[in-house]
Structures are given as C-alpha cells and as structure tokens.
Chain A
Amino acid sequence: MRLAIRNARLIDPATGRDGAGDLYIADGKISAEAGRVDRTIDAKGLVVCPGFVDIAARLREPGFEYKATLESEMEAAVAGGVTSLACPPDTDPPLDEPGLVDMLRRRAKALSRARVYPIGALTVKLEGERLTEMAQLAEAGCVAFSQANAPIADTQVLWRALQYAATFGFRVWLRPEDAWLRKGGVAHDGEVATRLGLPGIPSFAETIALASALELVRATGARVHFCRLSTAGAVGMIRVAKREGLAVTCDVAIHHLHLCELDLGYFDSNCRLDPPLRSQRDRDALARGLEEGVIDCVCSDHTPVDDDGKHLPFAEAEPGATGLELLLPLTLKWGEARKLPLAKSLARITSSAAEVLGVTTGRLAPGAPADVTVFDPNATFRVSPQTLRSQGKHTPFTGYELAGRVRYTIVDGNVVYEG
C-alpha cells in the first residue's frame, strides 16, 4: 500500500517543522518520494502530524470486560488519533505474568488498530511486597514497570525494586503517592473537600513520596518516570531534579491541566479521579510545567468506568474518566490558552511522549514507522456519551464544546480510521 497525503499542513514536532507539503507512505514507512500511489488523501485545511502516543490508557482487559473491551477501546484510540498507547498493569489479574502480557499483545495485534505497549507490574499482584519477574515480562513485551495507582507502602521494597530494575536498565514508572497519607481520602485536602465533607488527600501525599523516590533514584541510578503529577510542589521538585541532571521524566493527565477542585461542584462523580483534582494554583503550575518542558508529556489516563461505578455518592464512586478521544482536543485547548505554536503543543502527545515510552514513532522522518494522524484543528464537537466511541462514557468534560476532530488515522501505513 502506497499512500500520498497532499495539500497538507505538515507538522513534525520532533524537528519543529510546520508548513505546507505532501507526505508519502510506502510499505508502512514514511517515504521521501511519491512513487506509484495507490491512494491519495486530500488534506486541504487539515493538519498532518505523527500519530499520537498516549502513555496511559486502560483497555480494561483482562478482567474488567464489563467496563470496556479491547475492541471498543482500540476503536476509541484510533478515533482519537492515538496510534500508540501504553496500558497500565492494573487489570484483573494484574499484568504480573508473561502469559498475560503475551495474550494482551496478541489480542491487540490481531485487531490491527493502535500499537499497544503493556506496562508490567513492578510487584506481584501490585501488592508492593514481592518483585515480579521483570526480565521475563520484558521479553513478553513490557516496556516499563509500574504500580499503577497502588503505591508501594514499604520503602525498602521500593528501594529493592529500583535497584533490581536499574541492574537491567528497565524503566520504572511511579505515580508518587504516600500510601499512608492517601488512606481513606477521595478529594484534594483543601477548601472544597472541607465544604463538601469529603476525606482529603493532602498535597504532601504526593511530594513526600516524590522526595523519597528521587532520593532512591539518586541512590540506585534507576530510570524513573513519574506519572500523573497533580501538585505545584511536585512540578517544582522535578524542575530542580532535572536541573541537577537527574535522568527523570514525568507526565500529567489531561484532566489536571484543565480542571481543579472547584469542578467537583455538587459532588460530580465524574471528577472522582486518581490523583484528585487539586487547587487552581496546582492546575496552573501543571499547565506551565508542561509548556516549559519540566513535564515531558500529557496523557489521557483513559479509564473506562461503567454507570454502576459512577452512579454512586462521590466517595464510593470508582475513580477514573474516559479520555482517549479527548487527548487531542484538550491538548489543543491547553496550547491555545498558553498561546503556543501548534508544533509545540503536539510535541507533548507525539515526540516527547514517544521518548518517554522509548519508541521510534512520534515523528515524520523518512524511514520512520508510518503512524500518522490527520485532523481538522478548527472542527468542533460537543462531548457527549453519543459522540464517544469508548465504552467508558463518563468524563468531567461532558457538555464541553471542543475543537480538533480526527479525519484519518494511519498505523503502520494502513488507514485504520476515517472520520
């Protein structure tokens, strides 16, 4: 299959290129020449850029098929222009055995939609006690190891896990949160939680865990990526750590870029998220940190939750929101609010995200894998359960009018979505 995309606005965030041009695809790769063409896509008025890399999207398999299936979520991914995604290990059972990882990858591959990169469990059953067989999990296809939302309470276990991972050069992804300080909490420990009478999770649940983890990175030399920062304090600590030369990276979820504790309104369970939505000051620090590159990339933290999990009082509701199809529009919204060039905004969901994940996609260079997304930056849509393909219909952005609609998604040279 040879493809030509003509009249496009080509944006390659990796090089900063942004200009009119044509893009050619041959044999699953970006090509320098047109050659004989099987299909031509007219991309007049559209942006052509690398396919998006979402480093946190839960597909809910195995174990939670009643919330979502690989079929539904892979459709959602490509509809959102996401061509590569990493899935956290908090499935049931968790991704702590090579067989499970292998099966997940095969199932995903057979659907030939987005590329799926499983994140293996760092400890058995995510219980924070015994290390998983990381080498075998890596062989099965795990690109990194994490605890998802289950922090390791025992600092000695965390130390050993980082030592062991460092020995083999495995990447470790940690969401910094102190297991004890977060206990029982469901919302940011601030004015809103106080008013609503919700048990709080203090900001220092994040910064204390981050401080410990940074010390352990210094001690072990492990390659650590910090997930879903939610506090201004954490952004400041990462800024200092990077300046010091520590090889750490971090991300933020789309929700935390745009929302804060005030959005809980009258107990909106769609805003029940892990980590919790924090103060306006935190949100602004995250948005600035992402612009400055202190935060490397933004992810959807896509978590399909069914109605039964959300139609509950706030504290009992299951945390999480759907997000794969909102990654682009919400990244654009952030970039627009901060008056960034499009290439810079898109870098946070393409080249920078690919670097965190350690993959070669996320760029338009000749010879690179032909994962490409074509979107209309001006077309708008209203977020509603009907407009979302994901089986997860719950998001705090329901009712928002957002700009940025995907027209074509191309994975490995094949058009897998047309909208």
Chain B
Amino acid sequence: MQRNPQLNEKGELQHLLSIEGLPREILMQILRTAESFVGVTEREVKKVPLLRGKSVFNLFFEPSTRTRTTFEIAAKRLSADVINLNIAVSSQTKGESLLDTVANLSAMQADIFVVRHASSGAPFLIASHVKPHEHVVNAGDGRHAHPTQGLLDLYTIRHYKQDFSRLTVAIIGDVLHSRVARSLIHGLTTLGTPEVRVIAPQTLLPAGVEALGVKVFHDMREGLRDCDAIVMLRLQSERMKGALLPSAQEYFKNYGLTSEKLALAKSDAIVMHPGPMNRGVEIDSSVADGPHSVILPQVTFGIAVRMAVMSMVAG
C-alpha cells in the first residue's frame, strides 16, 4: 500500500483529504490551532498575516454556497488572496478534463486548492498531480469525505464535552450518502470515543457500516438513550424519488428529532447539524432553535477550523 498521500515524508500535513488515516496527534493539533483562531475571529481586526501573499483557489465542481463562503472567510482572515471558481458551470461543461483545469490553475501560481467534487476520491486524484508546494484541501467529495466538516464537528463536541473518552455520540439519518458522517465517524473513533452510534433505516446505511467502528440502531428511541451528542444528517428530497424511503412525513415520524425524542438522551446532550437543515424532515424547529442546539456555534467554529487547516498545510 502506498504512503498516506496526505502526509509528507516528515509525517506533517501536506494535504487534507480525509480524516481517515490521520494520526490522533494531527487531529488534536488541528483542534488546538483552531482554538487559537477562535479568539482571532472575535477581535475587532479579524486578520492574521499567516498566509499573506498566498493564493487560495476555491475549486467548486459542485455548487455550494455555505462551505465555499466559510473557506473564503477563513482564507481572508489568514490574509490570503482568494479566487472562487464555480466550475460546475464553466470549463467542465466545455469538456475540459479535471486535471487540465487543475494544471491551468497551477500555472496561475496557486498555493492551496480547496476542492469540492461530486465524485468520491477526486481530491486524491488532484493531490497526486499537483506540484510539491501546492496543497489540496478536500471540501467534500461525493459520499467519501468532508474532513473540515468532520473536524468542526469534533471541535464542537470537544468545546462542549471536553473529553471524548467518555462520550456516546449518535449520528442519525442518511449515512449511505453522507460524507459528513464518514468523516465524523473516523474522527470520533481516532480520538477514542467509546460509543459511536448510527441510527437509520437499512436503506440509508452502507454495506458493512459496522466495520467503521459504529453500533447500528434502527429504532431511534433506543439509539438516543443516554447520548451526549446527537448529529442529525441532512436528508435530500431526491431520496424520496427512488425506493429508499416512502415519504418525508414517514421519515420524520421515525427518524425526525423532536423534543419528545430528545428527552431520551442525556439532559445536557448537544444537538448538531451540518446544514442546511430541513425543518420538519429530519429536525423539528423546537429542537433546532432550542437550548440543546449548537448548530450556529458549529458554523462559527467551522471558520476557525478551516483557518487552522489552511495555515497548517501552507503556513
């Protein structure tokens, strides 16, 4: 098996492609670095000069507003120049290949490529073709990974719960299609979380999901019992078109998070969601806006985590 393509010869972070395979020490380093940046984002002058003179290319082969914006803010707070490329509607439709696009941008002196792509593994392909001084940060690839989202989820859990070694975390919903779930599961298990649960109907779980180190529950009430952190996954409406689910109403009845179900978790449980939320499909408004919800702090932490990642790969 080849060397982990994310690390350089010294074992330092060269690219961030997936949480899987990253040593615990690097994950902790990212979280600690992010912590120092949270302070920056609360100052009046929200900038540090760590990436001054460097160029960050946001390469979004799949549309996204939220993730792209948070990467842009993070890069600007590190004093980098940011170029946003919405490739979903430009060169790809003209038939230019992924690697040609990257080669062209590389000729424009990029330092960091922030990549989102609909195909699992695309950032790995790009990372294997960029120059040694260029860095790739995965901003979500297919169903595979969304490492910065996973890291900000870890950051949030650590912020509210401190010690991973005594937690029970439940991830609820469409694990099958979720890169967020995969990244978070790897992160939680690497940091020593004793119990990671996934709660979903069989149709929304990938084959052999237990091998990732999770406990499977089909009954939400049973799965929520004594949880410290609850992560709701977004359910896309297109899932109702095939044979995966009969309807959004029935899904909400079985797997939607309501105040009544939330009461089964620990009394100080936190509720997370990667956004954008579908109120009334996977989460009830009373929970989304309620005292257990840390959904908005997640967004704030997300900027600090992305600053940490970019400063670590290219700083």
| Cβ-neighbour of B144 out of A190, A197, A202, A312 (below 8 A) | A197
Given contacts A193-B207, A308-B97, contact A267 B125 (CB under 8 A): yes
Separation in Å of the B117 CB from the closest CB of chain A? Answer: 7
Question: Are A311's CB and B120's CB within 8 A?
Answer: no
Q: Chain A: how many interface residues by the 8 Å CB criterion?
A: 23
Which residues of chain A from 186 to 209 have a CB within 8 Å of any chain B CB?
189-191, 193-200, 202
Alpha-carbon distance A199/B118, docked complex (angstroms)? 12
Question: Are B182's CB and A267's CB within 8 A?
Answer: no
Does B290 count as interface, using CB distance less than 8 angstroms? no
Question: Are A311's CB and B1's CB within 8 A?
Answer: no
Question: Are A311's CB and B207's CB within 8 A?
Answer: no
Does B142 count as interface, using CB distance less than 8 angstroms? yes
Question: Are B209's CB and A197's CB within 8 A?
Answer: no
Question: Are B125's CB and A311's CB within 8 A?
Answer: yes
Does B99 count as interface, using CB distance less than 8 angstroms? yes
Which residues of chain B from 81 to 99 have a CB within 8 Å of any chain A CB?
97-99
Does B122 count as interface, using CB distance less than 8 angstroms? yes
Separation in Å of the A179 CB from the closest CB of chain B? Answer: 15
Question: Are A196's CB and B120's CB within 8 A?
Answer: yes
Q: Chain B: how many interface residues by the 8 Å CB criterion?
A: 27
Does A316 count as interface, using CB distance less than 8 angstroms? yes
Question: Are B119's CB and A316's CB within 8 A?
Answer: yes
Question: Are B122's CB and A266's CB within 8 A?
Answer: no
Separation in Å of the B100 CB from the closest CB of chain A? Answer: 10
| Cβ-neighbour of A315 out of B1, B142, B207, B212 (below 8 A) | B142
Does A314 count as interface, using CB distance less than 8 angstroms? yes
Question: Are A313's CB and B122's CB within 8 A?
Answer: yes
Alpha-carbon distance A314/B125, docked complex (angstroms)? 9
Does B141 count as interface, using CB distance less than 8 angstroms? yes
Given contacts A195-B20, A267-B124, contact A313 B143 (CB under 8 A): no
| Cβ-neighbour of B125 out of A194, A200, A308, A313 (below 8 A) | A313
Alpha-carbon distance A198/B117, docked complex (angstroms)? 13
| Cβ-neighbour of B124 out of A190, A195, A266 (below 8 A) | A266
Alpha-carbon distance A74/B72, docked complex (angstroms)? 54
Alpha-carbon distance A200/B177, docked complex (angstroms)? 12
Separation in Å of the B174 CB from the closest CB of chain A? Answer: 13
Does B5 count as interface, using CB distance less than 8 angstroms? yes
- A contact residues around B1 at 8 Å (CB): 265
Question: Are B182's CB and A195's CB within 8 A?
Answer: yes
- A contact residues around B119 at 8 Å (CB): 312-316
- B contact residues around A198 at 8 Å (CB): 120-121, 142-144
- A contact residues around B2 at 8 Å (CB): 265-266
Question: Are B212's CB and A195's CB within 8 A?
Answer: yes
Q: Which of A193, A194, A200 neighbours the largest number of chain B CB atoms within 10 Å of its CB?
A: A194
Separation in Å of the A250 CB from the closest CB of chain B? Answer: 25
Alpha-carbon distance A202/B20, docked complex (angstroms)? 24
Does B53 count as interface, using CB distance less than 8 angstroms? no
Question: Are A312's CB and B212's CB within 8 A?
Answer: no
- B contact residues around A308 at 8 Å (CB): 97
Given contacts A266-B124, A314-B121, A315-B120, contact A196 B144 (CB under 8 A): yes
Given contacts A266-B2, A267-B124, A313-B120, contact A197 B207 (CB under 8 A): no
Alpha-carbon distance A265/B207, docked complex (angstroms)? 18
Does B179 count as interface, using CB distance less than 8 angstroms? yes
Alpha-carbon distance A373/B99, docked complex (angstroms)? 42
- A contact residues around B124 at 8 Å (CB): 266-267
**A325-357 contact mask (Cβ, 8 Å, vs B): 1 or 0:** 000000000000000000000000000000000
Which residues of chain B from 13 to 66 have a CB within 8 Å of any chain A CB?
20
Which B residues have a C-beta under 8 Å from some C-beta of A?
A: 1-2, 5, 20, 97-99, 117, 119-122, 124-125, 141-145, 179, 182, 206-209, 211-212
Besides A194-B208, A266-B2, A267-B121, 11 other CB < 8 A contacts? Answer: A189-B207, A191-B208, A194-B206, A197-B142, A198-B120, A266-B5, A267-B125, A311-B99, A313-B117, A313-B121, A314-B119
Report 19 cross-chain contacts, Cβ distance below 8 Å, ordered by A residue: A189-B207, A190-B207, A191-B208, A196-B144, A197-B145, A198-B121, A198-B144, A200-B206, A267-B125, A269-B125, A312-B98, A312-B125, A313-B98, A313-B117, A313-B125, A313-B142, A314-B120, A314-B121, A316-B119
